[in-house]
Amino acid sequence: MVDDTWLTEAAQAAGREVRGVPVELLGDYLTMLAEAAITGRKPHSSEIDAVGMLGRRAAELGVSAGSAVQLYLAAARRVWGELPMVIRSRDSGAVRAAAEAVLHVVDAAVASLVEGYTEARRQMARWEETLRREFIEDLLRGDADVGRLVERAEPFGLDMARTHQVALAAPTGRLEDAESAVSSLEHAVVRRVGDREVLVAAKDGFIVVVAPADADMPSLPGARSEPTKLGDFMFAELGRSRRGQPWRVSVGRPYPGSYGIPRSYEEAREGLTMAVRLHLDTPVICAEQLLIYRVLLRDQPAITDLVLSVLGGLVQARGGAKPFLDTLNAYFATGSVVTETARCLHLSVRAVTYRLDRIRTLTGYDPTDPVQRFTIQTAALGAKLLGWPDHDRDAPR
């Protein structure tokens, strides 16, 4: 066996050279180097495996792979420089053999060190991703233990005492590479806002962004100097990605506390659902814009009764109710201007006037009458939300 006094000094010198890395990570590495140089003994596989475990330990301690390797090379250089005179007194062939034996140990040990380090980092990344996924599920579901949730939020930079809002982004077509889109948006957020306070993740086919309500995104290039709203920022950044495709973004209202985040999330989800139902072409939807629709759906039996009572007679017309519903929606969307309605529907003014007259005859409500307009417009909105008459709730009355 080799006297380890000078090896301890060599380890300490290497530690001073590579600051911030514990010399304990060297283990029996220096002894293997010395014995290889003096006796030519090759290390056992168990000794090399032990170096791999030290690589795992380095990863757990947060030591970078480069620093760990640098420590091992510095230690090898120190050991070679401090070898006993017996090595130096040998002939050139013996010295060359000793150098080859030392290099063999260095090569095997560093390879095992890096392999152990890499595997540990891979496992840690998988574990962190699992924790992140579980945290996001509990955060958005809203029924987790609040105290524990606050503790789990700290590593992600979320201050649960602040007011947050949630935004969702959904592709309007097929998304082939969701991870790329999430990564692209996350990098944009980190670049502009920082890696704290904002959480970006994928869930149920959506991209989810949780952000403090008072942390407006910086202004976009080419825009005015005021900060950009969260939804507009997301839509612009997703459109810039190399795999960019049409996106729809829905933003929930801001709410305080741990229960505010799932509430905002549900509003954002509801916004996306309503956008599809109502065939909205607005790319960025805010929950405030959909309050009237939420009011209508809150009492679904009542709105169903209103739709069937007011519009039920339209199903008796030739061609069904759909052409008349399209006319009503276009008429109200254009401010009740017949010429604009005709242009929107690619019809003549006379055709639109005829349809409005038929609606009055079949329903008993006149869309052009300011007194009756509210009732029939509300019924038309309800029909959109219910998918009527394609998804008929009852026989028309």
- Domains of the chain, CATH where assigned: 5-124 (1.10.490), 157-293 (3.30.70.2730), 299-386 (1.10.10.2840)
**Positions of the chain with pLDDT under 50:** 1, 86, 395-397
pLDDT of residue 70: 94
pLDDT of residue 265: 94
Token pair of 204, please? 């149920």
pLDDT of residue 223: 52
pLDDT of residue 221: 56
pLDDT of residue 202: 85
Q: Where are the alpha helices (DSSP H) in the chain?
A: 5-17, 29-39, 45-60, 65-81, 85-88, 92-141, 146-153, 178-192, 230-240, 260-277, 291-298, 300-311, 322-333, 338-345, 349-363, 370-386
pLDDT of residue 395: 41
Tens of pLDDT, residue by residue over 251-279, are 999 999 888 999 999 999 999 988 888 87
What is the distance between the alpha carbons of residues 272 and 234, in angstroms, rounded to a whole number?
A: 15
pTM, to two decimals: 0.66
User: Which residues fall within 8 angstroms of residue 311, CB to CB, at 6 or more apart?
Assistant: 321, 325, 363, 376, 379, 380, 383, 388
pLDDT of residue 78: 87
Token pair of 393, please? 């709730």
DSSP for residue 43:
P
What is the distance between the alpha carbons of residues 236 and 142, in angstroms, rounded to a whole number?
A: 29
- End-to-end CA distance of the chain: give it in Å, rounded: 100
Report the chain's mean pLDDT, rounded to a whole number: 85
Q: Which of 85, 84, 69, 81 is nearest to 29 (CA)?
A: 69
* Residue written as token pair 């080419």: 222
C-alpha separations of 114 from 65, 106, 252, 253 in Å: 7, 12, 46, 48
pLDDT of residue 220: 55
